[in-house]
Amino acid sequence: QLQLVESGGGLVQSGGSLRLSCAASGGTLDAYAIGWFRQAPGKEREGISCISRTGGSTNYADSVRGRVVISRDNAKNTAYLDMSSLTPEDTGVYYCAADQWCGSRWYLRISEYDYWGQGTQVTISS
């Protein structure tokens, strides 16, 4: 079955940038839409972004729009999340997930994504 591994998290100062990667194995990433999610301490997991199988369509949560770019390189079996202008409110564990498609209401389908990585910690200092 498909396995996903996130990487690239760490400690970044407020205003900084970070690139997260989502590497797939056990399957080809181009068969799946990829979503990025995050969970802050004491908070529910929230959707950040989603990208279609070919990368032709992208979706962003209002909270990160303009500061986040989602992309994918299917030849490398990897998806990415580029973040900038980071603030302490962006602190949390970031996850990537795979499903058949994003859908126009992708942010409401958190429990429906078929595959999840273990997450990578992102900490933004003030």
Q: What is the pLDDT of residue 92?
A: 98
pLDDT by 10-residue block (mean), the chain, 126 residues: 97 98 95 97 95 96 96 96 98 97 91 95 97
CA separation (Å) from 4 to 52, 79, 115, 117, 120? 16, 10, 7, 5, 12
Any idea how long the chain is?
126
What is the reported pLDDT for 113?
Answer: 94
State the Cα–Cα distance between residues 37 and 34, nearest whole angstrom: 10
- The pLDDT assigned to 99 comes to 95
pLDDT given at position 88: 97
CA dist list (Å): 87 to 17, 36, 62, 68, 112: 10, 18, 15, 12, 29
pLDDT given for residue 53 in this prediction: 95
